Amino acid sequence: MSRILKLILTITVAAGIALLILVVQFNRFLDAPIALPEATLQYEIRPGAAFRQVSDDLASQGIIDSPTFFRLYARLTDKAGSIQAGEYRISDEVTPRQLLDMFVKGEVQLYSFTIVEGWTFRELLQALANNPVVEATIVFEDWPAVLENFGAEASHPEGLFLPETYRFPKGTRDVEVLRQAFELMNETLDEEWQSRDENLPISSPYEALILASIIEKETALASERPRISGVFIRRLQQRMRLQTDPTVIYGIGVDFNGNLTRRDLRTDSPYNTYTRGGLPPTPIALPGRAAIHAALHPAAGTEVFFVATGLGDGSHKFSDTKAEHDAAVQEFLARQRAARNRQ
């Protein structure tokens, strides 16, 4: 064998060995769990970030050892251009191969936001604005455009968003959270309306929503909702005024100072159910599904009055007659006086 052939053979063998070593290192890199300083790490891919930028950044933070191998694997699998922006939760059990799949599938970190039963629309917007992972894009005065964008039939935003826990990635716009809550409320209200009791003095799902919002504000006790609904349903059937404080308070709006007076109860407004019969023109808060269900499935009975007991548990005393109700009111006032005297 000539010296040239031996040289070629030696080079070929060396190249083959080097390639084999490279392949071994490449696969070892792809399948070895990454080493993180902590068990988990939050990593964010900015919108529009190039894959080279992402791989270099991962290496600079010590998340991967070889940005070159990472880019090579992405090119070989044709995934370099498919990564999705967002915030990712990376654990130390993840391999670079799995990490790239996470980026391509967009398995971003999801955050929770809970809409609380009884909030007003104004309170909901404020909570969204205060949430650090939500992008605030609207203010209260924007609600006409929001409703138009959603295709809402109602002309007022109150009560149209279902209290529930919603999950979404960081940077989600407030209007998108509202859209989820709006659509879920429509679905929920439609389901409940289809299964409503017969012979209710409620002519539309929107009226059910109005009544549900009053029930929501009147009690925090789940066991009382159907019973309070029964009182209001019977009042509507008997053409009695609802005479419920929460509607008056809502009508006063942001000027309410926390003290509801006799003058407030006598001052007429569309929401004053002491001066006007029937339901107010719109919901007064965001009712949950349980309150909607109660509005459409009232408890049977004869009571047409109720008042807080003052026992500190949020409970109410229900009465059939005005005389019984007046006595219950005096019991409540006596408990309040006794509580003040103990302070």
| Tokens standing for residue 235 | 């009042």
In whole angstroms, give the CA distance from residue 147 to residue 186.
13
Q: Are residues 118 and 142 in the same domain?
A: yes
pLDDT reported for residue 341: 80
Q: Does 295 lie in the same domain as 233? A: yes
* Mean pLDDT along residues 41-46: 90
Token pair for 169: 């990635």
* CB within 8 Å of 82: residues ≥ 6 apart: 104
Q: Confirm whether 328 is domain-assigned.
A: yes
Is 282 contained in some domain? yes
Statement: residue 15 has pLDDT above 70: no
**Which of 130, 163, 189 finishes a domain?**
189
Residues 234 and 324 in one domain: yes
Q: How confident is the model at residue 5, as a pLDDT? A: 63
Domain count, the chain: 2
Domain boundary among 143, 161, 189: 189
* Residue range(s) defining the domain that contains residue 282: 204-342
- Report d(CA 90, CA 71) in Å as an integer: 19
Residue 271, in any domain of the structure: yes
Residues 168 and 248 in one domain: no
Inside any domain, residue 3: no
* Residue 24 pLDDT grade (very low, low, confident, very high; cuts 50, 70, 90): low
The mean pLDDT of 208-222, rounded to a whole number, is 96
Q: Which pTM was predicted?
A: 0.85
**Shared-domain flag, residues 300 and 333:** yes
221 and 317, same domain (yes or no): yes
Q: Does one domain contain both 213 and 155?
A: no
Question: Quick one: pLDDT at residue 4?
Answer: 67
166 shares its domain with 283: no
What pLDDT, on the 0 to 100 scale, is given for residue 338?
Answer: 81
CA distance 17 to 221: 75
Per-residue pLDDT tens digits for 166-205: 999 999 999 999 999 999 999 999 999 999 999 999 999 9
Q: Are residues 226 and 181 in the same domain?
A: no
Q: Residue 83: inside a domain, yes or no?
A: no
Report the candidate in 131, 90, 116, 113 with the shortest Cα–Cα distance to residue 168: 113
The answer to the question of residue 49 being in a domain is: no
Per-residue confidence band for 11, with pLDDT thresholds at 50, 70 and 90: low
- Whether 179 and 217 share a structural domain: no
What is the pLDDT at residue 20?
60
Q: Name the nearest CA neighbour of 57 among 103, 111, 108, 109.
A: 103
Give, in order, the Cα–Cα distances in Å from 282 to each of 103, 192, 270, 326.
Answer: 45, 19, 9, 30
Tens of pLDDT, residue by residue over 84-138, are 999 999 988 899 999 999 999 999 999 999 999 999 999 999 999 999 999 999 9
pLDDT of residue 212: 98
pLDDT band at 300 (very low <50, low <70, confident <90, very high): very high
Average confidence score pLDDT of the chain: 91
Give residue 216's Cα distance to chain centre: 17
| CB-CB contact of 237 with 300 (8 Å) | no
Q: Is the pLDDT of residue 252 over 90?
A: yes
Pick the last residue of a domain from 159, 189, 219. Answer: 189
In a domain, 240, yes or no: yes
Q: Do 141 and 208 belong together in one domain?
A: no
Closest CA to 159 of 284, 289, 290: 284
Is 48 within the bounds of a domain?
no
pLDDT (tens digit per residue) in 57-90: 999 988 888 999 999 999 999 999 999 999 999 9
Q: What is the pLDDT of residue 14?
A: 54
Residues 135 and 185 in one domain: yes
What pLDDT score does 271 carry? 97
Q: What is the pLDDT at residue 22? A: 64
pLDDT class of 287 with cuts at 50, 70, 90: very high
pLDDT at 40: 82
pLDDT tens track for 306-342: 999 988 899 999 999 999 999 999 999 888 888 788 7
- pLDDT of amino acid 167: 96
The pLDDT value recorded for residue 18 is 58
The residue among 121, 281, 308 whose CA lies nearest residue 211 is 281
